[in-house]
Amino acid sequence: MASENKVATSAYKVIGTRPIRHDGVDKVTGKALYGADVRLPGMLYGKVLRSPHPHARIKSIDTSKAEANPKVRAVVTSEDLAPISDQLAKFVRDKILASDKVLFKGHPVAAVAASSAHDVEEALSLIEVDYEVLPSVTNVEDAMKLDAPVLHDHITTDGLGDEAPRKTNVADHGQYKLGDVDRGFQDADQVFEREFRTKSIHQGYIEPQNATAWWTPDGRLTIWCSSQGHFAIRDGTSRILGVPVSSVKVVPMEIGGGFGGKLGPYLEPVAAVLSRKTGSPVQMTMTRAEVFEATGPTSGSLVKIKIGVTKEGRITAAQAYLAFESGAYPGSSLSGATACMFASYKIENLQVDGYDVVDNKTKTSAYRAPGAPIGTFAVESLIDEICESLSLDPLDFRIMNGAKEGTRRVDGVVNGPIGMLQTAEAVKSHSHYSAPLNGRNRGRGVAMGFWRNNTGPSSVVATVVSDGTVMLVEGSMDIGGSRTAIAQQFAEALGIPVEDVSPQVADTDSIGFTSNTAGSGATFKTGWAAYEAAQDVKRQLIDRAAVMWEIPPEQVEYEDGVIRHASDPELHTTLSEIAPTLNDTGGPIVGRASVNPRGVGGSYVANIVDVEVDAETGKVDVLRFTAFQDAGTAIHPSYVEGQLQGGSVQGVGWALTEEYYMSDDGRMLNTSLLDYRMPTTLDVPMIDSVLIEVPNPGHPFGVRGVGEAPIVPTLAALANAIHDATGVRMTQLPMSPGAVKRGIQDREDEH
């Protein structure tokens, strides 16, 4: 791996270094425990009965045979969940266990608990469900048709040009407007338009969803699971079960990947009600097919894009129409696409219309910069076409039109200091951009991307130990090394080695509320909380030294882990020296912080990709890949590089091989990792990474989120590279060998 750091972080002693991750030994030796590793006395096993139909009315559920079986300890249906009148809350509950209708193949209908995994599998066949099968629809364009089967009778819309509201699958229509779009297109010398389509794809995490629940006789429920936010699991389970949130404790286990797919409950409420009925702990784990069919992939989409430019290459206006699948229930990743797709550019006249559309597939979930890769695929592909038509260098065009500090984005946000131009200039000056590309059917593509990043409530508690080390307890789930990145920020603020900080993630009873590890927000918000906790520790150390030295606290200074008398240089001590005396001089020192910080700074990214296309088969080989990102301040550069590499590889899969392959009757046909083709090490080259650092002034250490943005430009970069290699403009994903071959054949037929 090649890595370049464009701005040195020499102002820091810990930040910008590459310490060994604190949980590394546990992970590589197998000591780390994941959700399925939980073993409790008398533990039972649970399994879900799922619908074989993508759309059907439930006429009856007969559980009598299962309940009569001596091996079966409990059977539950939606009647065992809390009654809910609010429609949105009912959606959440019905996703867990269907009540009146099933809306996708794999929709949970009932669940069973038994003493062994074998017994529970057999027991499912004893439950009899009478269905009235209904017509189904499994893509966004068909779902929007006037004659489409309607999933939810209460969803109506009057925003589609109808004279009166009608039942529809369009759950929401949102619009952003900036300037005067019509005037902007009138000012253009040329207007470019295209349509783009993408399929549903899955996050592809290795560890399936799991949950172990133990509902004890005193009414306390404890859940062990792997998630991106154990507080969200706690709160969601509390609502679905209708119990006080204070009676639910969630113990976070290590997580084997999430990428947005493990944000809310799936099995946890079901395991809980099975445990309540049996009085025993119950463990549930999904199969891979269940993960594909019944957890949240990203949206399939239709995107129409229109950009007007002057003959010099200035963008005068842009307009977009996006229709996103949300799956069985409303709520797609539309907002990420509409807010981010044009954010790399200064465009004074913009209009973006987005439609959230339900269909008979599992409810969608977030997937790494949710929505942004889809919108960016369309924008950056069309910009590549514009540059070719105007004979402009792709980077010169992007720099000419690049967003700057003060640029207003289409969602109304005005940019603070941002790194778009620095990132684009780094791409243009990189040796990969100008390197010769020899060989037949080889091409090079570039694309820019943006992710707005996230924040939220976060809590940290720091306890000074008598040997001078610090126990750092946090509420953020660690997915990509955030334990160490947060410990680095604490250590930097307190002026101690990061090796003297022991970070751990606490359960929901042991730390203050912390929002999900999502939206690239954990290092930002929990790092800020760690910074504030360090300030709290520092204040207490100063007060303690003042008492010991019998001087006012104003005469005590703290710098780089050393406590000094301001005017007597001989009077000083260190954290490690004062720590053993704390209990005798006033008691333990515990620093605390709970924050909900503002000041999030967006991240800009770019890719240069070289490909070779086999004209006979359409197969695309990725030859070289360089990923660029403005990290603000790279807390742990190795982890940032890892995020760049991981996001890029996922983008390669999304672009070239991955899709939900659906049958005409609404079934997913490729529900195994043999048939759902994610890239392996044989499919991608080493991803070279370039880190640019434009510090975010909205954070004590200049942090910007880095986890989500790397996937954003990859779809378009590969499409542009394929066009450069073949002359074929690919507008549908995946760009599989068959699709590329058809594109080549169609182009040959035209000529």
Residues with catalytic roles: 708
Q: Are strands 44-50 and 108-114 parallel, antiparallel or unpaired?
A: antiparallel
| Residue among 166, 62, 69 at smallest CA distance from 114 | 69
- Give the DSSP letter string of 48-65: EEE-SSSSEEEEEEE-HH
Structural contact between residues 512 and 475, judged by C-beta atoms closer than 8 angstroms: yes
**Plot region of 158 (φ>0 → left; ψ -120 to 50 → alpha; else → beta):** alpha
Nearest CA among 378, 367, 447 for reference residue 200: 367
Q: Tell me how far apart the alpha carbons of residues 128 and 378 are, in angstroms, rounded to a whole number.
A: 47
- How far apart are alpha carbons 8 and 312 in whole angstroms? 36
- The label of the residue with tokens 């229109």 reads 306
Residues 20/706, Cβ–Cβ less than 8 Å? no
For helices 372-390 and 714-726, the axis angle rounded to 10 degrees is 30
The C-alpha torsion from 280 through 286 and 290 to 292, rounded to 10°, is 140
Largest CA distance in the chain: 91
β-strands 687-692, 620-630 pairing: parallel
The answer to whether the beta carbons of residues 56 and 293 sit under 8 Å apart is no
H helices of 550-633, where?
575-578
Q: Which two tokens stand for residue 594?
A: 């709970």
- The phi-psi region of residue 448 (left if phi > 0; otherwise alpha if psi is between -120 and 50; otherwise beta) is beta
Let me know: does 328 contact 360? Beta carbons within 8 Å.
yes
Give 648-669 as a DSSP string. Answer: HHHHHHHHHT----B-TTS-BS
Dihedral sign computed on CA atoms, order 326, 330, 336, 337 = positive
Please name the helix (run of DSSP H) or strand (run of DSSP E) that holds residue 504, with its range, or none: strand 501-505
How many Cβ atoms sit within 10 Å of the Cβ of residue 334? 28
Residue 569: exposure state from Cβ atoms within 10 A (0-12, 13-18, ≥19): exposed
Give the contacts of 505 (CB within 8 A, at least 6 positions apart).
Answer: 252, 473, 474, 475, 476, 477, 478, 483
Helices (H) and strands (E) in the chain, counts: 20, 29
Distances (CA, A) of 689 to 4, 444, 522, 693: 7, 17, 22, 13
At residue 605, what are phi and psi to the nearest 5 degrees? -140, 165
Residue type, 428: K
Q: Six-digit token pair at 122?
A: 């057999």
**CA–CA dist 541, 456 (Å, integer):** 29
Contacts of 258 (CB under 8 A, 6+ apart): 203, 205, 227, 228, 479, 517
CA 685 to CA 721: how far, in whole Å?
15
Task: Report DSSP letters for 30-92, one per residue.
Answer: T-S-BGGG---TT-EEEEEEE-SSSSEEEEEEE-HHHHHSTTEEEEE-GGGSPP--SHHHHHH
Q: What is the DSSP letter of 208?
A: P
